Structure 1
């Protein structure tokens, strides 16, 4: 899995940590929490976050969005104690947040790039203990592997307590927050991600997801994770999973987003559009070849590690199928053409290369129904989908070959 621009977004937003705290946090919190208001909803319950954290210096602490690091509110910390009190509007939807603070005292070293960035500007994030992991030896590994899980918790209505020692590698315990409990319990499960599973394995994974939703039908976290990987599901699978949540969750921002997505996504029987895009020589080229038996569209970017890792597999496929009616094309979503050109020089891919214009990237992602790269779409000569693949795995080449061989072996109609 490689979520678009995760590392780029982190670098671009780090400067926001140095800006002044929001003056009107309560109003802006409501705007950030939901894209649209739910009409005639009951008044939202107050949000209280109370901290009792040892070895954190006196001064301001900040409540921030866990992904963008944008500050939502600030409060004073005295002798390790602080308290955020927020009154959200009726449109509030739980979101992932973290606690930032200024730290002059040295803290234990970490190897994560996020923590290194914070050290340079004198800020820290509270590291949170995943209390659902019972093996103490695995606790620290969970911090390193899942940075969002170790520094983020859910902003929810009600009373959340944070207790522990800021200088301890054990992290801070989050108490009284069931959304965070659900998130921590599934950090190693890749909840929502189906990848390229088929048959019984796919059915078993979906059954696991549905059971977790049935056990926690109130969980906005589970719905958000389903939405993040929505393109990996069929329409029926999505409707069944979303239908397992409480009505209140189904009517939330992400619930409405899923329904809107189902309305606008391209029908599986409809061909994808054949776009004209620019090539490395600045000449236009077509995405698909209507004269080929099979089109294999590879969406990637120079900054995507798994995409670059997959290139040797693609080279082997191209050498084997280039004279057998398979049109292979790589389509970059690099925002900077110079980075794309540099990667082409390094990778030396012998098949057609195209670049999506920066202003077209979101539109192309919507048209071809993907949210993460590497993403491979296999179509017939008319552009009708045969198979889609998300993410990089060592065995992907065998999966690609299976689809290509099945299509190439078909007798002409």
Structure 2
């Protein structure tokens, strides 16, 4: 009686294994490739070392390996040594651009399955890449991760619509998901969630898919609701970010390496000196990765208010909670943990406006 169940179990395991095969195959057949070896390497650093290689025979080669980590928008390169021993890259032409201005790239995106690269190095159009929907999606939409989200609401909406259209046309694109991950600080929670849910299961299961899902889960649905986290002071003592006995809390996110943050400190000192400490609490929160980098700068700046640092084990969560895509950022938070004003970046003109806002708020509350 047990045999049929055992057989079904084996069939299910086999089916699951086939469906989730992470084998990457890159086949090349390139005329004029006069090299004994071709090398595979990540594209994010010119000085990064090759992680795989393949022998070249009459311009033909095959690189095969299996990923043991989730896929993401892996930009990779193929290079070789020419007859003079000089490193050269195999350029990939973009067939989705007008023929008169075909761009040539030294990188492409990998995914599971087979990608073929053919061409003739003596010709100007570069190699031709086929196979792999990830590379195809990348070549069709190279620019999205490099878009700078506008502060203008109308333009930002148009940008979001463009991103939504790209996602709908490429629901499993790691490259498009990378773009959305880069925009996560600049679109509101509901919109980010809607765009993320437009992706297919394959993209959601990828590296950036998992990171973005976690970010959305930890991001407050209401941007005006301020999480009262517990961070550490210089003595590793846990301290609440917001003091709910005060009418107002000024929370300043900064870092020792951030020049605009440090330029802002004299202005913050003048603001703090103007108001009664019984009404308003000031607290600076460092995003430094290392406490030893933060401590000497914090002491040198001599800020006469509470100083905290975000523990690294909760930094990703804090990024989502406080939208820490850039610094300095200043939040004015009331005793009900509601954001009453947010100031992005350092501006010499902020000081008087902030003083006026605080004075008016304290007078009314």
In 2: Cα distance, 1:133 partner to 1:270 partner: 45
Name the structure 2 match of 1:61.
Answer: 39
In 2: Cα distance, 1:160 partner to 1:271 partner: 51
What TM-score results when the alignment is normalised by the length of structure 1?
Answer: 0.60
Consecutive unaligned residues of structure 2, counting only runs of 5 or more, are: 1-14
1:223 to 2:202 alignment: no
Which structure exhibits the higher relative contact order, with contacts defined as CA atoms closer than 8 Å and separated by 6 or more residues? 1
Name the structure 2 match of 1:275.
Answer: 230
User: Is the partner of 1:233 in helix, strand or coil?
Assistant: coil
1:293 to 2:245 alignment: no
Distance 1:404 1:65, change over 3 A: farther
Cα drift, residue 75 of structure 1: 1.8
User: Is the partner of 2:19 in helix, strand or coil?
Assistant: coil
Cα drift, residue 132 of structure 1: 6.1
In 2: Cα distance, 1:222 partner to 1:401 partner: 42
Name the structure 2 match of 1:84.
Answer: 63
Coordinate RMSD, CA, aligned = 4.9
- Cα deviation digits, residues 305-359 of structure 1 (max 9, x gap): xx3245334544554565255736251413261x44565588x4746584637xx
In 1: Cα distance, 2:228 partner to 2:65 partner: 47
- Cα deviation digits, residues 24-75 of structure 1 (max 9, x gap): xxxxxxxxxxxxxx96883659643233275663235235485795865432
In 1: Cα distance, 2:296 partner to 2:65 partner: 48
Cα drift, residue 271 of structure 1: 3.8
Name the structure 2 match of 1:233.
Answer: 187
In 1: Cα distance, 2:154 partner to 2:165 partner: 16
User: Is the partner of 1:49 in helix, strand or coil?
Assistant: strand
Name the structure 1 match of 2:4.
Answer: none
In 2: Cα distance, 1:233 partner to 1:361 partner: 25
In 2: Cα distance, 1:129 partner to 1:219 partner: 19
Distance 1:60 1:222, change over 3 A: closer
Is the CA contact (8 Å cut-off) linking 1:96 and 1:152 kept in structure 2? no
In 2: Cα distance, 1:86 partner to 1:364 partner: 34
Cα drift, residue 83 of structure 1: 1.9
Quick one: which of 35, 60, 74 aligns to 2:53? Answer: 74
What TM-score results when the alignment is normalised by the length of structure 2?
Answer: 0.66
Cα drift, residue 207 of structure 1: 1.6
Task: Count the aligned residue pairs.
Answer: 335
Structure whose alpha-carbon radius of gyration is higher: 2
Distance 1:262 1:401, change over 3 A: farther
Is the CA contact (8 Å cut-off) linking 2:249 and 2:333 kept in structure 1? yes
Cα drift, residue 237 of structure 1: 0.8
Distance 1:299 1:309, change over 3 A: closer
Is the CA contact (8 Å cut-off) linking 2:93 and 2:103 kept in structure 1? yes
Distance 1:84 1:298, change over 3 A: same
